[in-house]
Amino acid sequence: MSEKTPQTAGQGSSEKNAWVDTYNDMLQDKYKGDSFDEAEFGSANQSETADSQGFSEKNPWVDAYDDMLHDKYTSGSFDEAESGAPDVPETADSQKNLAAALYEAYASGDVGAVKKAKEALRSSVSAQVETPSSAAKPEAADSQGSSEKNTWVDDEQSQEPVIEPGATVSISGQEWTVGAVRENPRTGKVEFVAYHPDENDHGRNTRGMFSEDDLKVTKEPVSPEIGPAPAPTAEDYEAVGQTPPSAETSDSVGNEKNLAAALNEAYANGDVEAVKNIKEGLLQNRESEVLEDSLARVRKEYAAARVDVESHFFKKFFGGKDRQQRLDDLAEQMKGLELAVAKQKFASEIQQLKDRAGEDDEEAQQQQEALAGLMAAHVVENMQKTEQETADQFDTMLDERSKVHKIMAKAGRWFTKDGRMKQWLKLGGTGAVAGAVTKMVAGWPVTTAVGLAAGVGVGNAVKQSVLEERRGEQRLNIDASDAQLALQQEAKNANASDENEALGAMVEASVGLTKEESEKKQEELRKKVRGAMGKFALGFAAGGAAANLLQSTLFGAEHAPTAVASEGGSTPSPDVATPGSDATAGAELGRANPVDLVSGTEGLGSGGYEYPWDWASEMFGDADAAQRLHELGEAAQANGHNVEWISVGGTEMVTVDGIYDTQYVVDVLSQYVN
Amino acid sequence: MFEITDEFLAQAGFGALPAEDKETMRRNAEQRVSTKITEKVIVVVGEENLDAFENMLDGDDALALLNWCQEHGIDLTNITQESMNETMAELQKLYNDALNAVRE
């Protein structure tokens, strides 16, 4: 045995590298004391780092070479050697021939031929092993990260990254500091925790778990907040105190191993097309892993933020808004990730629909809409699961922080769809009540959303409301008549025997106005209705504006300027309670200054607009208001004004020159109306 | 107090779901509305009335509970309608986002 028998010392070299020992024995026997010094066979010495298991699986031709050498020097026969190992795959002919050529060169003692044959073989094997991390790569007995090299043909002078605590390694062009290191008992690969010096938004160093295979694989984060790709197994997460990824992620790890094995086979077979497809599959699998783990992280953060909000429910002035904002931001982030995951899950169906584009547009569109519904339902389902898991965790908390949550749960038992209140109603509870409570109850159940149909474009062609059809008509009249139509629709859906009764009950139940409140309030409420519809068109949540929807649509000034339902539910104006009387009453009013319509009204403030959107709605119509506002903002920007659009908790706000004031914004933007 | 009807689901964009998925979607929408209702009720109740409210919830007298809500300015119908509206807007936005993702 050569003294320079390779650096597999301590790693079972004799066990793993029997063929090398045989090779060295051969050389000793043949060339004892002769001119071929071992430097010539340096590459052969390096080859002992190949793991025998890896070689037998991944490099059958090498095993064949080993067999050839063994047979040659045990049987004394050259026949088998010269004919090559019978089990070498047909498609590995080129490498088999190269191996045979190398053997011949050695046998002939031709140093130049040996060098050439080695070079040719090295190039061939290097091309074979240029694969994704886990595929077609002989494992290095040397655990110093020579993962992507078939080291027995590598250059003797190659540098290998050192993986040990405190070392610095390069991952995706960034320098990471190695923490804990271990060898995965299952795969035999070196895995390690590493830290990146950049701080994330939590004030901690970015941390991740990597494998030796990752040292040359790009691991770009999906977004700056998400961080590096995680370790591949649940065990490895637990090793650093992290929550193991979901079962789906574990399955994707198994899938990656299968893909890696398939890739190895494709290389062995020389199937270029299969190699390409499998590589793409591996890439998608890795992207899916990153998404899934990012989603798991955000879910955890959302749960923590929700607990935080509920624990400080009434502390609105002590960080309450920030907590709620963080919760809202995380909810949006979670929705986005859920949708991205759903998109991946349905990727093949989406692609099929795209491939069919042009064949039958209408049917394809319907199928797209159906698929979108499925994806959105999938997202909602997962988000509800997260909410439920959060609630379950909260239930385990026994201290006072959970008081609000506990009372919410009790309230939920009363006021949910099938809660105790409904059961009481079913038992004839209404017979026992009187006064205002009767009116409150009479408005139940609520079965639909009011006034939203026109505001949000829904892909499956929800019927456009009259607002859209009557665009350009007198604003005030349109609002009133369309509100009536919306109410009529709502009343049809309501569980009321008499449409008038339902409307009347809704009026009285929705009243928040007292006799003391002026008609000015009615007009402001109507403007909020238009504001709410515009916001819905931009995808905003209804929020507080919708809360006033009922009052304002019912108490629009053009119908009943003096009809203010008092607290306690006085009889509403006949105009309001009889939706059959149509918009003609409103039409008679014609276009008028909103102020004039309301008697006894104080000034409505600057221009009477609460939001810039209200002004734009007056000028351009509800459907175009948002777009025209943006266009005017751009025109103002081009003329030297500083126009900013700010999204806050799902609501978009505009400032001009840093000023929020509606009048100022309107004054500036109106200058650019053509 | 409320009902997630087929019309509600259709308006939100989920009218074409298979039956089983539609029922799941209905349950999820109900849960979202319920959560919003309870949160809004608690906000109106306020911290100072929380204990009294809890006592009412622990009882069996629905009429007393309704009167208590009425006396303390808790407009349950309005709160329910708000919650339905908000849920509808969220679902519609989500549906539109999903449709854009499919059509990209």
At A146, list the tokens: 């020579």
Pairwise CB contact (< 8 Å): B58 & A410: yes
| Locus of tokens 């040292």 | A215
Q: For B62-76, what is the mean pLDDT?
A: 89
Percent of all residues in chain B with a pLDDT value above 90, rounded to a whole number: 67
Integer Cα distance of A445 and A454 in angstroms:
23
Say yes or no to pLDDT of A528 above 60.
Answer: no
Predicted local distance difference test score (pLDDT) of residue A396: 62
Predicted local distance difference test score (pLDDT) of residue A93: 58
**In angstroms, what CA-CA distances link B75 with A262, A532, A655, B67?**
64, 20, 35, 11
Contacts of A198 (CB under 8 A, 6+ apart): A205, A206
Measure in Å the smallest separation between the Cα of A543 and chain B Cα atoms.
6
**Best CA proximity match to A81, nearest among A70, A92, A94:** A70
Predicted local distance difference test score (pLDDT) of residue A235: 59
In which band, very low, low, confident or very high, does the pLDDT at A204 lie, cut at 50, 70 and 90?
low
Q: Which of B8, B24, B89 sits opposite A381 (nearest CB)?
A: B24
Say yes or no to pLDDT of B90 above 60.
Answer: yes
Q: Which of A420, A448, A459 sits opposite B13 (nearest CB)?
A: A459
ipTM of the complex: 0.90
pLDDT single digits (tens) A185-200: 777 888 888 887 665 5
In which band, very low, low, confident or very high, does the pLDDT at A155 lie, cut at 50, 70 and 90?
very low
Predicted local distance difference test score (pLDDT) of residue A135: 41
In which band, very low, low, confident or very high, does the pLDDT at B91 lie, cut at 50, 70 and 90?
very high
Please count the CA atoms within 13 angstroms of the CA of A490 that sit on its side-chain side. 33
Predicted local distance difference test score (pLDDT) of residue A587: 36
Predicted local distance difference test score (pLDDT) of residue A596: 36
C-beta of residue B26 within 8 angstroms of C-beta of residue B15: no
Pairwise CB contact (< 8 Å): A377 & B33: no
Predicted local distance difference test score (pLDDT) of residue B26: 94
pLDDT single digits (tens) A623-668: 888 888 889 999 998 888 888 887 655 567 788 887 878 888 898 9
Amino acid at site A462: V
Integer Cα distance of A322 and A58 in angstroms:
56
Q: Which of A377, A408, A445 sits opposite B39 (nearest CB)?
A: A408
pLDDT single digits (tens) A332-384: 899 999 999 888 888 888 888 887 766 667 888 888 888 899 999 999 998 88
Q: Which of A419, A440, A543 sits opposite B66 (nearest CB)?
A: A440
The three-state (H, E, C) secondary structure of A98-163, written as one string: HHHHHHHHHHHCCHHHHHHHHHHHHHHHHHHHCCCCCCCCCCECCCCCCCCCCCCCCCCCCCCCCC
φ and ψ at residue A489, rounded to 5 degrees:
-65, -40
At A180, list the tokens: 């804990």
In which band, very low, low, confident or very high, does the pLDDT at A432 lie, cut at 50, 70 and 90?
low
Pairwise CB contact (< 8 Å): B67 & A342: no
* Omega cis (within 30) before A445: yes
Measure in Å the smallest separation between the Cα of A510 and chain B Cα atoms.
6
Measure in Å the smallest separation between the Cα of B57 and chain A Cα atoms.
6
In which band, very low, low, confident or very high, does the pLDDT at A533 lie, cut at 50, 70 and 90?
very low
pLDDT single digits (tens) A85-118: 444 444 455 766 777 777 777 767 777 887 787 7
Q: Does A364 touch chain B (CB under 8 A)?
A: no
Pairwise CB contact (< 8 Å): B50 & A411: no
Pairwise CB contact (< 8 Å): B78 & A460: no
Which residues of chain B does A369 touch, with a Cβ-Cβ cutoff of 8 Å?
13, 16, 99
Predicted local distance difference test score (pLDDT) of residue A82: 45
Pairwise CB contact (< 8 Å): B66 & A437: yes
Integer Cα distance of A597 and A585 in angstroms:
13
**Best CA proximity match to A535, nearest among A638, A446, A642, A610:** A610
pLDDT single digits (tens) A109-151: 777 887 787 778 777 766 655 444 444 444 443 444 444 444 4
**Best CA proximity match to A364, nearest among A377, A374, A349:** A349
Q: For B2-25, what is the mean pLDDT?
A: 92
Integer Cα distance of B11 and A447 in angstroms:
12
Which residues of chain B does A357 touch, with a Cβ-Cβ cutoff of 8 Å?
none
Predicted local distance difference test score (pLDDT) of residue A511: 38
φ and ψ at residue A583, rounded to 5 degrees:
-75, 0
- State which residue of chain A sits closest to B82, comparing Cα positions: A547
In which band, very low, low, confident or very high, does the pLDDT at A402 lie, cut at 50, 70 and 90?
low
Say yes or no to pLDDT of A80 above 60.
Answer: no
C-beta of residue A146 within 8 angstroms of C-beta of residue A140: yes
**Interface probe, candidates A338, A339, A380, A651, chain B, greatest B C-beta count within 10 A:** A380
Q: Which of A608-622, B54-68, B70-84 has the lowest mean pLDDT?
A: A608-622
The per-residue pLDDT of chain A, averaged, comes to 62
Predicted local distance difference test score (pLDDT) of residue A376: 92
| Locus of tokens 């004839």 | A428
Q: Which of B11, B34, B94 sits opposite A453 (nearest CB)?
A: B11
Measure in Å the smallest separation between the Cα of B86 and chain A Cα atoms.
5
| Locus of tokens 């992507």 | A148
Which residues of chain A does B34 touch, with a Cβ-Cβ cutoff of 8 Å?
412, 415-417, 419
- State which residue of chain B sits closest to A316, comparing Cα positions: B43
**In angstroms, what CA-CA distances link A227 with A89, A199, A206, B61, B84?**
43, 10, 7, 54, 37
For helices A60-75 and A93-108, angle between their N-to-C axes, nearest 10 degrees: 30
**Best CA proximity match to A540, nearest among A549, A552, A532:** A532
C-beta of residue A290 within 8 angstroms of C-beta of residue A229: yes
Chain A stretch 72-91, residues whose beta carbon is closer than 8 A to a beta carbon of chain B? none
- State which residue of chain A sits closest to B87, comparing Cα positions: A541
pLDDT single digits (tens) A29-71: 544 444 434 434 443 443 333 344 333 444 444 444 455 544 5
Q: How many CB atoms lie within 10 A of CB A371?
A: 22
Q: Does A536 touch chain B (CB under 8 A)?
A: yes
Q: Which of B41, B57, B102 sits opposite A375 (nearest CB)?
A: B102
Chain B stretch 58-97, residues whose beta carbon is closer than 8 A to a beta carbon of chain A? 58, 62-63, 65-67, 69-70, 75-78, 80-82, 84-97
Measure in Å the smallest separation between the Cα of A477 and chain B Cα atoms.
24
Which residues of chain B does A437 touch, with a Cβ-Cβ cutoff of 8 Å?
63, 66-67, 70
